Amino acid sequence: MTSESEARRARVESLLRDALPAASVIVDARARKAFESDGLTAIRELPWIVALPETEAQVLEVLRICREFEVPVVPRGAGTGLSGGARPLAHGLLLGLSKLSAILEVDVANGVARVQPGVRNLAISEAAADHGLYYAPDPSSQIACSIGGNVAENSGGVHCLKYGLTVHNVLGVRLITFEGDVLNLGGKTFDSPGYDLLALTMGSEGMLGVVTEVTVRLLPAPPEKRVLLAAFPEVAAAADAVGAIIAAGLIPAGLEMMDAPAIRAAEDFVHAGYPTDAEAILLCELDGVAEEVEADLARVRRVLQAHGAGEVRVAVSAADQARLWLGRKSAFPAVGRISPDYYCMDGTIPRAHLADVLARIGRLAEDHGLAVANVFHAGDGNLHPLILYDANVPGELERAESLGARILELCVAVGGTVTGEHGVGIEKLDQMCAQFDDAALAQMHRLKAAFDPAGLMNPGKAVPTLSRCAEVGGMHVHGGRLPFPNLPRF
Amino acid sequence: MGGGDRGEELCEALRDCRGRGASVRIVGSGSKSFLTAAAASRTPDPPALSTTDHSGVLDYRPEELVITARAGTPLREVERQLAEADQQLPFEPPRFHGGGTLGGAVACGLSGPGRPWRGSVRDAVLGVELCNGLGERLRFGGQVMKNVAGYDVSRLQVGAFGTLGLLLAISVKVLPRPAAQETRTFEVDAGAALELCRRWAARPYPITATCFLGGLLRVRLAGAEPALRAAATALGGDRERNDGFWDELRDQRLSFFAEPGLWRGSLPPAAAAPLDGCLVTWGGGERWWRPPDPAAAAALLAAHGGHGRPFDDSFGLRVGRYVPAVERHYGDRLRRAFDPDGVLNPDLSVGQPTARARRDAD
C-alpha cells in the first residue's frame, strides 16, 4: 500500500474514531481478516477498513466520512450470504450492521415487529412466539442470518411456496442513501403512496442504500403441521408429481426434492430413515388448521400414488417430522462428507421443465466428468444442484465452474433465472449477461444512479457492466462471429 | 388466444414522440380514467396512446400458477381463462363498470378485499415487459416465483401509473380457487368490529376478507368444507346468504361508493381513527369514508400512522403531493432514469412533481 493511501486511511480512521466507539473501528489486519468474505468463502478480499456502528446516527456519520473521502462502502449483515454480495473491497469501507441488533417493538395489535437490521431472522419469531405469532420466511441459515441481509437478498426459505419471500413479509424499512438521506419506506400499513421503493429495496443487495430498520409482518403460527415422504423409482416421476400436486389446487407449506446421491449422503450422515433404494424422494409439509391439513393430506397422498410413488410415509409425531426434515436440512453438509468440495448452484425454472432439466443436468455433468447431487425447493422450481469436485485435482475447479455456468444458462434457456434466492453478488455477474440484454442492464445502472449518483454503494455487485458482458459473450463464440464486434477488448 | 402483438408499434410511437419532444397519455380500457380525469381539463392534453389492441394471453399453464398476458388483455378475459382451470387472481383487482385491463390493474395497483391474506398486486407480479421513455423494449423478472436476478423493476411498475414505462406484458402469480367459501356476519358497532378483527388476526382462522359497513361486520372464510365448519363454529355470527357481496365490494358497486367526497385511507389495522362512518376492510388496514373536514383528513391519517387521499378524479394524478419531500426527490430521479425526456404520462405525479411542471420550471 502506498504511503499516500496509508495517510488517507489514517485520516479516515481518525474521523471514524471521533464518531464511533473504539471497538467499532477496525484497522488491524488480523482483525480485518474476519471480514474478508461472506458465506461464499472462495472469493476473498481484505477490507481497507471496517466500521461497526451501534446506532443509525453513527451509520450516518460513517457515510458522511465516506462521502467526504469518496470511499466506497460495502454493507454486511451476518455474513452468511452465498453469492459474495458482502465481499469487501481492498479500497473500501466494510460497514457491518451486526451491532444494530435491537428488537424495537413487537406490536401484537397490528401484527408487526419493528427491528434493527442486525437482528437474526429466527430471533424475530422467538420474540413473537409468546403471542402465537411468527415471522414466516425461514432461509436455511435462519439461526445466523440477519433480517437486514434478508432484505438485501430478498431471502426465501423452505416455506416460501405458501408464505412468500422477504418482499411479501416486510411492510417497511428505513433506508439511508449514500448521500445521507433517510427514506422511510412503508410502515405498519399494507401500502404507501408513490413509487414502491420498498419493493425495489428488497433484493437490491445493498446497492441502493443501507437499511437501518425493518418492519416485518407477523403471522399466526399454524396449529397443525404434517410432513410426508414419498419415494419414487424414477426422478422424472417425482418431478411430474410436483406439478400434479400444484395442478390439483394444493399449496403445500414446503415441497422439497432430493435425488439418489443426495438421499444416500443424507442417510449415511444423519440416519433420517430415508429409503436409500429410491431414485428420488419428495418431502411435503402441509400446515394450517387441523381440518384443512387432514383434507389436503388425503389429496396429496392420492396425487403422489397416482404418479408412481412407491412408499408414502406420513410422520406421526413431532419427533418423526423433525427426523424427516433433518435429512433434508443436513443434505449440504452430508454431501460435503462424500466430496472434498462442492459448488452449490441456485437457478429457478418453471416447474413443468423439472424432469427435463434434471436429466439434462445429468448429461452435462457426464460431459464434464463430474457428479451432481440435487436437493432443492421443488415446489417453486428452485434448483440447488451441488457439483462435486476436488479442488486439489488440477482442472476440477475449472470444470466445476464451467458446468455450473452451463447449468445456469440452461435455467435461463427454459424461461428461468440464474438465481432464485442466493443473489447475484459477485458470483453470478457473468450469468446475468445471459439473462438480460444490454438495454435492460443499462436501465438497471441508471436506476442505481438515481439512488447513488456517486456509484459508491457496494459498487461492482449484482449488475454487470456492459463491457464485462461483452467479454463474457466473447467466451462463447457463436457461428465463428464475436458478439459486439465494435467494442475494444483487452 | 385472441388479441394481437402491437408491441413494436407502441415502442415506435414512444420513440417518435421522444424525437419530436412530445409526450403521450397511456390508456387501457379507460375503466379507471375517473381517477385521473382532473388532468383532462388541462390543455394541451397529450394525445392518448391505447394499449387495448395489444392483447392476448401469451402463456398459461395452470400447474405453474402463473399467467402471462399482454397489457391490453381485458381482466375479464384473464379471469375467464383462470376460472376454467379453477384458479383466480389472488389480488382481486377492481373491475369498474366491468372493464379494466391487466396492464391497468398493475399500473394503478389497486388491491381488492383479500389483500392482507392473499397479497397485493405487487406481491403477485413476477415479471414485466415494458417500453421505457427512450422507446427501449425491456424485460425484467420472469415467470418463476423465486427470482433475485437484478433489481425488482417489475414490482416497481405497480402503482407507478405508467410513468416508469409503458407496460407491454405481465406475468402474475395466480392461486387455486378455494374448495368452498362462506361469509359470517356480526351485528356490532365499529369499535367492536375492529376489536374482533384484531383478535382474529392473531389466530390461524381461514379468513380471506373482512368488511365493516353500517353496523354489520362481514368475514369471508375460504378453504376445505370441514375447515370452514370448524371456523364458523369458532367465530360464531350468522351465515350470509348474499354471495355476491364481495364482488360488489371489490368492484365498488355498493351504494356506499356512489356519493362524492370519498377518501381512501391505509392504516395500521388497529388504528383508532378514522372510524366513524367508515367502510373498513383489510381487517382494519383500509378505510373508506367521507371526511367532514377534508382539509384535516390527511393530518388525521398521519396522526394514526397511516396515509390516504381523495378517491376522486385526482387520485392517480397528484400522488406526489402525499409523498414526503425526501422520497419525492428520489422518485423524481427514478422517473428520469426511466423516462429522461418526460414522454410518459407527463400530467401524472406519482412520487415527484409532474414532468409538465418540471418542463415549465426548466
Count A/B contacts: CB-CB distance under 8 Å: 273
Contact B350 A132 (CB under 8 A): no
What distance in Å separates residue B55's CA from the closest CA in chain A? 21
Instruction: Give CA–CA dist B84/A379, Å, rounded.
Output: 23
Q: State residue A50's pLDDT score.
A: 98
Residue A25 pLDDT > 70, yes or no?
yes
pLDDT digits (tens, 9 = 90+) for A256-270: 999 999 999 999 999
Task: Spell out where A293-360 has E strands.
Answer: 312-314, 341-344
Q: State residue A479's pLDDT score.
A: 33
pLDDT digits (tens, 9 = 90+) for A365-402: 999 999 999 999 999 999 999 999 999 999 999 999 99
**Which of B120, B146, B152, B164 should be substituted to probe chain A, the one whose Cβ sees the most A Cβ atoms within 10 Å?**
B146
pLDDT digits (tens, 9 = 90+) for A400-434: 999 999 999 999 999 999 999 999 999 999 999 99
Residue A480 pLDDT > 70, yes or no?
no
Q: Tell me how many degrees the CA angle B78-B76-A353 measures, rounded to the nearest 5.
A: 5
pLDDT digits (tens, 9 = 90+) for A318-369: 999 999 999 998 898 899 899 999 999 999 999 999 999 999 999 999 999 9
Q: ω into residue B44 within 30 of 0, thus cis? A: yes
What is the residue-wise DSSP string for A61-108? HHHHHHHHHT--EEEESSS--SS-TT---TTSEEEE-TT---EEEEET
Q: Does A447 touch chain B (CB under 8 A)?
A: yes
CA of A462: which chain B residue's CA is closest?
A: B150
Residues of B in contact with A181 (CB under 8 A): 326, 329-330
Q: State residue A316's pLDDT score.
A: 83
CA B247 from chain centre, in angstroms, equals 15
Q: Does A451 touch chain B (CB under 8 A)?
A: yes
Residue B41 pLDDT > 80, yes or no?
no
Residue A474 pLDDT > 80, yes or no?
no
Instruction: Round the CA-based radius of gyration of chain A to a whole number and report it.
Output: 23
Q: State residue A472's pLDDT score.
A: 82
Q: State residue A481's pLDDT score.
A: 38
Contact B150 A463 (CB under 8 A): yes
Q: State residue B359's pLDDT score.
A: 52
Residue A478 pLDDT > 50, yes or no?
no
CA A461 from chain centre, in angstroms, equals 14
Q: Which amino acid is at B332?
A: D
Q: Does A449 touch chain B (CB under 8 A)?
A: yes
Instruction: Give CA–CA dist A122/A98, Å, rounded.
Output: 15
pLDDT confidence band for B117 (50 / 70 / 90): very high
Q: State residue A482's pLDDT score.
A: 37
pLDDT digits (tens, 9 = 90+) for A115-143: 999 999 999 999 999 999 999 999 988 99
Q: What is the mean pLDDT of residues A215-232?
A: 97
Q: State residue A1's pLDDT score.
A: 60
Instruction: Give CA–CA dist A70/A77, Å, rounded.
Output: 22
Residue listed under C-alpha cell 389429496: A299
Mean pLDDT of chain B: 94
**Identity of the residue in B229, B322, B334 whose CB atom sits nearest the CB atom of A193:** B322
- Residue of B351 and B51 predicted with greater confidence: B51
- Residue of B20 and B45 predicted with greater confidence: B20
Diameter of chain A measured on Cα atoms: 72
Complete edge-to-edge strand list for the sheet that includes strand B57-61: B57-61, B66-70, B166-173, B125-131, B137-141
Instruction: Round the CA-based radius of gyration of chain B to a whole number and report it.
Output: 21
**Identity of the residue in A188, A288, A348 whose CB atom sits nearest the CB atom of B204:** A288
Q: State residue A484's pLDDT score.
A: 38
CA of A204: which chain B residue's CA is closest?
A: B151
Q: Determine contact, residues A385/A374, Cβ cutoff 8 Å.
A: yes
Contact A419 B149 (CB under 8 A): yes
Q: What is the mean pLDDT of residues A443-468?
A: 97
For B:224-243, CB contacts with A below 8 A are 224-227, 229-231
Residue A20 pLDDT > 50, yes or no?
yes
Q: Determine contact, residues B343/B133, Cβ cutoff 8 Å.
A: yes
Q: State residue B353's pLDDT score.
A: 56
Q: Which amino acid is at A427?
A: E
pLDDT confidence band for B2 (50 / 70 / 90): low
Long-range CB contacts for residues B313-316, cutoff 8 Å, separation at least 24: B313/B34, B313/B35, B313/B36, B313/B37, B313/B38, B314/B36, B314/B38, B315/B35, B315/B36, B315/B264, B316/B32, B316/B35, B316/B36, B316/B108, B316/B161, B316/B348
Q: Does B120 touch chain A (CB under 8 A)?
A: yes
Mean pLDDT of chain A: 93
**Identity of the residue in A168, A195, A444 whose CB atom sits nearest the CB atom of B350:** A195
The SS3 of residue A343 is: strand
Q: Does A171 touch chain B (CB under 8 A)?
A: no
pLDDT digits (tens, 9 = 90+) for B280-297: 999 999 999 999 999 899
Instruction: Give CA–CA dist A422/A429, Å, rounded.
Output: 13
Residues of A in contact with B66 (CB under 8 A): 350
Report in angstroms the alpha-carbon separations of B124 from B13, B105, B171, B172.
29, 12, 8, 5
Q: What is the mean pLDDT of residues A28-46?
A: 94
Residue B340 pLDDT > 50, yes or no?
yes
CA of A180: which chain B residue's CA is closest?
A: B326
- Residue of A305 and B359 predicted with greater confidence: A305
Q: Does A164 touch chain B (CB under 8 A)?
A: yes
pLDDT confidence band for A2 (50 / 70 / 90): confident
Q: ω into residue B274 within 30 of 0, thus cis? A: yes
What is the residue-wise DSSP string for A379-394? GGTB--EEEEE-TTST
Work out the percent of chain A whose per-residue pLDDT is above 90: 91
**Identity of the residue in A111, A197, A423 whose CB atom sits nearest the CB atom of B148:** A423
Residues of B in contact with A417 (CB under 8 A): 142, 144, 146-149
Q: Does B177 touch chain A (CB under 8 A)?
A: yes
Residue B317 pLDDT > 60, yes or no?
yes
Residues of A in contact with B337 (CB under 8 A): 443, 446-447, 449-450
CA of B118: which chain A residue's CA is closest?
A: A163
Residue B357 pLDDT > 80, yes or no?
no
**Identity of the residue in B140, B143, B224 whose CB atom sits nearest the CB atom of A415:** B143
Assigned C-alpha cell, B252: 365498488
Q: Which candidate, B16, B136, B18, B1, places its Cα nearest to that of B57?
A: B1
Residue A242 pLDDT > 50, yes or no?
yes
